[in-house]
Amino acid sequence: MDKNQVKRIVFKFGTNILKNEEGDICLSRLYSFIEDIAKLYKEGKEVLIVTSGAVGLGVKKLGLKTPETTVDKQAAASIGQPMLIEIWQDGFDRFGINISQILLIEDDFSVRKRYLSLRSTLSRLLEAGIIPVINQNDVILPSELEHVSFSDNDKLSALVASKLDADLLVMVSDIDGLFDKNPKEYSDAKLIPIVNKVTPKIEKLATGASLGGRGGMITKLNAAKVVTNSGSMAMIVNGLTPNIIRKIFTEENAGTLFLSNNKLSSKQRWIAYATNVRGEIIVNKGAKEALIEKQKSLLSVGVLDIKGKFDAGEVVCILDENKEEFARGVANYNSTECEKIAGKHSYEIKEILGYMQSDDLINKDNLVIL
């Protein structure tokens, strides 16, 4: 799909691109973004915004330079979030555009009922001409800021884009795009304008997290992989470039464009990119070949080991003998049951458990090869 043919766009704005040197929101820059987004909206584009910045705004109100504890971060988020949404609302009010506020946690994507409810709500807002402004809910879960963070909202924006069938995800950062080498270390580094597929070779070009944020190039590449594998496109652009959002659709090399690849169904996207996956099933070489080459269901006889605790109906990772993940699927049995029948033939399941709710651990219709 050509960029100019896109209908639904997700814009992701990171902390560093929204704040100024004093740590406040740079209103002139933000309002410039809003002006260009408003023009796209008036042209008939559907727009969703994923924004960072709540913690940074709240920290100053707490009298801190930086949050020292998780509780500090949570308190700062609770202070900063209403301030942040008010700034976005004020900007769009100038163009007669209404917005809504959506605060999300990882379970909103990993629990299928919640995911379907979220999808319906966002679809209804877009249908009504409302621009959803989305952020992660840093207030309620410490883990959101520590172990299973959305990684500076890059992962969150990718999940929103892929699961809402967006045509394009635009990650507005403080770098021009993906380079063939680190531009901060090499003066001859060249921008890569188009990436056909996010391969391991491309991933090696990533550098670490940016100052003041939780993400970096690696999280942006991961986000691009999620989106492109869902049949959409992704871009990394420099928000410090004047009128960059307008240039996305008027200039050929406005940043780095990641082209779409596979088109997964809604259910496949939920399985492949489910968050908070709690369990792992390690399989032998024969089972891996059956899943990949023959598109078969996963049978208990091919299972070597079970890791983690999970219930039937939850998404689990499938690993090969080298402990490398190559697939995900919905388990038909919980982890305790899986441990008991691992390595056993299907006809032995009823004898071991006293019942058999399925003759496979993961049905081929609920399995996605990564």
Residue 138 and residue 25 in one domain: yes
Residue 258 and residue 281 in one domain: no
pLDDT of residue 142: 54
d(CA 317, CA 348): 24
Burial class (CB in 10 A: 0-12, 13-18, 19+), 171: buried
What CATH number corresponds to the domain at position 320?
2.30.130.10
Write out the H or E segment, with its range, that includes residue 229. Answer: helix 217-229
Residue 131 and residue 172 in one domain: yes
Nearest alpha carbon to residue 78 among 154, 19, 141, 16: 141
pLDDT of residue 109: 82
Residue 32 and residue 178 in one domain: yes
d(CA 369, CA 281): 14
Residue 358 and residue 252 in one domain: no
Residue 300 and residue 244 in one domain: no
Residue 288 and residue 252 in one domain: no
Q: Which of 245, 269, 293 is the last residue of a domain?
A: 269
Residue 259 and residue 323 in one domain: no
* Residue 280: strand pairing partners: 307, 317
Residue 168 and residue 66 in one domain: yes
Write out the H or E segment, with its range, that includes residue 255. Answer: strand 255-258
Torsion angle in degrees (nearest 10) through CA of 327, 330, 336, 338: -60
Residue 121 and residue 169 in one domain: yes
Residue 239 and residue 339 in one domain: no
Domain that holds residue 305: 277-369
What CATH number corresponds to the domain at position 51?
3.40.1160.10
The pair of three-digit structure tokens given for residue 29, joined into one six-digit string: 């820059």
d(CA 100, CA 165): 19
Q: Spell out the per-residue pLDDT of the chain, length 370, in tens.
A: 566 689 999 999 988 899 887 778 899 999 999 999 999 999 999 999 999 888 888 888 888 878 878 888 889 999 999 999 999 999 999 999 999 999 998 778 877 888 889 999 999 999 999 999 999 888 876 554 444 445 558 989 999 998 888 999 999 998 899 998 888 888 898 999 999 988 888 988 885 444 444 457 888 998 999 899 888 999 999 999 999 999 998 877 789 999 988 777 778 887 887 667 889 999 999 999 999 999 999 999 999 999 999 999 889 999 999 999 999 999 999 999 999 999 999 999 999 999 999 999 999 999 998 8
pLDDT of residue 183: 83
Determine contact, residues 12/157, Cβ cutoff 8 Å. yes
251, HSE (Cβ side, Cα atoms, 13 Å): 14
Q: Which of 269, 295, 324 is the last residue of a domain?
A: 269
Angle in degrees, CA 184, 67, 20, rounded to 5: 50
Quickly list DSSP for 105-145.
Answer: -THHHHSHHHHHHHHHHHHHHHHTT-EEEEEE-TTT-GGGG
Residue 254 and residue 286 in one domain: no
Quickly list DSSP for 45-113.
Answer: -EEEEEE--HHHHHHHHTT-SS--SHHHHHHHHHHHHHHHHHHHHHHHHTTT--EEEEEE-THHHHSHH
Q: Which of 269, 295, 329 is the last residue of a domain?
A: 269
The pair of three-digit structure tokens given for residue 360, joined into one six-digit string: 């496979």
pLDDT of residue 212: 41
User: Looking at the 3D structure of the chain, how many domains does it have?
Assistant: 2
